[in-house]
Amino acid sequence: MRTILITLLILALATPASARRRSRGIATGTKPQLNMSFTGMGIDTGGDALLDAGNITRTRGPNRRMTARSTVTTHTFGIRVERAGGENSGSVTVRAFLEASDPRWSIRIDGKTIGTMPLVIDPTAPIGQVRMHTMELDIPTAMPEGTVFNSVVWEITTN
Amino acid sequence: MKRFLLSLVAVLSATSASAATDNGTVSLTGTLESSLTIAITANIGASSGSGTSTVSVGLGTIAKSGAVPIAVVRTVQTTDWKVGALIGIVVSKANLNSSSYTLTAQLASSTPAGITWKLNDVALSHLSPITLTSAGVYAESLMPLWEVVIANSAAPTSINNTIHFTATSN
């Protein structure tokens, strides 16, 4: 019995928390698997999505505004969190961070400028519902023309 | 010791069970295009749209004598008379590697006989543009003098017209 307990203890300690977190779609323990999906992004493929902002010019538009120093393009999208098996109760904390640092321009989600460190976007997103968010691409006028690219990594963790 | 280990395993198990996670990635892409914008300031007579790229100026009825519209100066000469005012033009750039611009102006339509539109004393035409500057400084105001010269021989008529300004980066 003692040997079994020690083995269990070693196994529990052997898996780092970060490794568990990075395992996409794998829920630890006995809770059903979590699934995050995006809506309103244009190309949504399950837990990943592509947002093509198209041609970004300094002109007024329905999703675009201009400040003295930058052009801000706004996109509204939704995040749905569900549990496999339909046990849609409780809530998750939603965090986001940039995959790569690009100081030339910034990305705001719900008004919060995100960087390469995870930032809490929604501390209590209900499981089973779509929660709407806004993403702003803030591009200074001094930035030279060309292709802009980055990736926002999203993490959800049950509360 | 056995009780301690049991407790520890129980705590670890409970922690693991409550921490379900998932992650996803949103890739962002777009093409940033350069642009120039023109803002025209003309608080002349009954104007509208001052500060934007489309300004309308209403002078009402004008004559060689009598009242003149707000901010308009009238000059009476031997064979003709003219009304004039300064207008402000600011060209701004965005996402563009350029140190100066060229600004041209051209009338949209021909003028009636005996009537001439001028900018900085250069006659405007609807046939070809004139160059106001070939070394414009971005975000600084250019203040050309806009004038309409009316010959004494010109018949009473509408002087309506439109000046198209075009800014091109150098």
Q: Compare B89 and A83 and report the one with higher pLDDT.
A: B89
Percentage of chain A lying above the pLDDT 70 cut? 77
Reported pTM: 0.69
Decide if pLDDT at B113 tops 50. yes
Decide if pLDDT at A1 tops 70. no
Q: Report yes or no: B2 at the A interface, CB cutoff 8 Å.
A: yes
Q: What is the pLDDT of residue A11?
A: 39
Q: Compare B39 and A87 and report the one with higher pLDDT.
A: B39
Partner-chain contact A137 B8, CB within 8 Å: no
Instruction: Tell me the per-residue pLDDT of B77-110, one tens digit each, with 9 for 90 and over.
Output: 999 999 999 999 999 999 999 999 999 999 999 9
First to last CA, chain A: 34
Decide if pLDDT at B130 tops 60. yes
Chain B: closest CA distance from residue A30 (Å): 5
Partner-chain contact B28 A148, CB within 8 Å: yes
Q: Report yes or no: B22 at the A interface, CB cutoff 8 Å.
A: yes
Q: How far is CA A123 from CA A94, A154, A158, B24, B136, in A?
A: 6, 13, 10, 17, 52
Q: What integer best gives the mean pLDDT of chain A?
A: 81
Q: What is the pLDDT of residue B45?
A: 85
Domains detected in chain A: 24-158 (2.60.40)
Instruction: Tell me the per-residue pLDDT of B51-60, one tens digit each, with 9 for 90 and over.
Output: 999 999 999 9
Q: What is the pLDDT of residue B18?
A: 58
Instruction: Tell me the per-residue pLDDT of B133-142, one tens digit each, with 9 for 90 and over.
Output: 999 999 999 9
Q: What is the pLDDT of residue A32?
A: 58
Q: What is the mean pLDDT of residues A127-154?
A: 95
Domains detected in chain B: 32-61+85-170 (2.60.40)
Of A31, A32, A148, the CB nearest to B29: A148
Which residues from chain B sit within 8 angstroms of residue A154, using beta carbons? 23-26
Chain A: closest CA distance from residue B27 (Å): 4
Decide if pLDDT at A9 tops 60. no
Mean pLDDT lowest among A25-34, A82-91, B145-154 = A25-34
Decide if pLDDT at B6 tops 50. no
Q: What is the pLDDT of residue A46?
A: 66
Instruction: Tell me the per-residue pLDDT of A38-59, one tens digit each, with 9 for 90 and over.
Output: 988 766 666 788 988 889 988 8
Which residues from chain B sit within 8 angstroms of residue A60, using beta carbons? none
Chain B: closest CA distance from residue A62 (Å): 17
For the purposes of burial, counting CB atoms within 10 Å of the CB of A103, is it exposed (0-12), middle (13-18) or buried (19 or more)?
Answer: exposed
Which residues from chain A sit within 8 angstroms of residue B97, using beta carbons? 144
Chain A: closest CA distance from residue B136 (Å): 18
Which residue in the block uniquely carries the two structure tokens 């250069």? B122
Decide if pLDDT at A24 tops 50. no
Q: What is the pLDDT of residue A31?
A: 53
Q: What is the mean pLDDT of residues B20-37?
A: 91
Q: Residue A25: CB partners within 8 Å, gap ≥ 6?
A: A33, A34, A35, A47, B22
Decide if pLDDT at A125 tops 90. yes
CA distance B50 to B62: 21
Torsion of CA A54, A59, A60, A65, to 10 degrees: 80
| DSSP one-letter string for B117-140 | EEETTEE--SSS-EEEEEEEPTTS
Q: What is the pLDDT of residue A33?
A: 85
- Residue whose C-alpha is closest to residue A135's, from A38, A61, A45: A38
Q: What is the pLDDT of residue A102?
A: 94
Partner-chain contact A137 B30, CB within 8 Å: yes
Chain A: residue nearest B95 by CA? Answer: A144
Q: What integer best gives the mean pLDDT of chain B?
A: 89
Mean pLDDT lowest among A62-71, A96-105, B128-137 = A62-71
Partner-chain contact A143 B19, CB within 8 Å: no
Q: What is the pLDDT of residue B37?
A: 92
pLDDT grade, residue A112 (50/70/90)?
A: very high
